[in-house]
Amino acid sequence: MRAIDIMSRPVVTVIPDAPAKEAARILAAHGFTALPVVDDERLVGIVTEADLIGDRVPPDPRFPRPAGEQRHAGASVGEVMSSPATAMAPGCDLATLSRALLDAGIRAMPIADGGRVVGIVTRGDIVRVFARSDREIAADVRRHLSIYGGPDRWQVDVCDGVVRIADDYDDETDRHVATLLAEAVPGVVEARTVTATGDRE
């Protein structure tokens, strides 16, 4: 599965000169956690909930402020954004993208093609993929396989995202292609082919 298979598009973006308050309004209105920041359509940064929270909430006057603490509440997106922003290509493996999100402790990854933002993938997008029902997954796998081998050739069963594909023919190439096609379907955890002689990887 690739980033392009699940990314959200078109992408809502902001420019560096936009007011930070406007970025906060967009995040709140859409339920986003981050917005790519673009200048002339090229990715220059990303502004997140954390960027907007930092130094923007004034301390309660009833509590003493720590000595030496100073606030620098940026007025524009360019003042508060994280830059440079990490981005991945549309064709990157979703497993690699997921690991990058976790390793960096971030919630969203811009997807860029030649520096131009074409999509975004969030942790929520990935969770939604794995929340797909087995029935939806099976229907998509059958559709992919019917294009390759014709309708009614394959028997498909799905349980908790694990796909079992049965085929009357014992062809190693067909088994390999069927497995690859099934594993490209969003929500598939693993795909196995089965013939009259038993399980095949």
Mean pLDDT for the chain overall = 86
Nearest Cα neighbor of 48 from 105, 127, 132 is 105
How far apart CA 121 and CA 135 sit, in angstroms, is 24
Across 79-94, b (16+ Cβ under 10 Å) vs e yields ebbeeebebbebebeb
Q: Which domains does the chain have, with CATH numbers?
A: 3-130 (3.10.580.10), 134-195 (3.30.1340.30)
Assign 71 a pLDDT band (cuts: 50, 70, 90). very low
Lowest mean pLDDT: which of 79-83, 112-116, 167-171? 167-171
pTM for the whole thing? 0.73
Average the pLDDT over 93-108 and give the result.
91
Query: Token pair of 58, please?
Result: 């004034």
Asked if residue 51 has pLDDT above 80, the reply is: yes
Average the pLDDT over 113-124 and give the result.
92
Average the pLDDT over 89-93 and give the result.
94
Nearest Cα neighbor of 106 from 129, 127, 82, 89 is 82
Asked if residue 137 has pLDDT above 60, the reply is: yes
Average the pLDDT over 59-79 and give the result.
67
Are the beta carbons of 161 and 188 closer than 8 angstroms? yes
Is the pLDDT higher at 93 or at 55?
Answer: 93
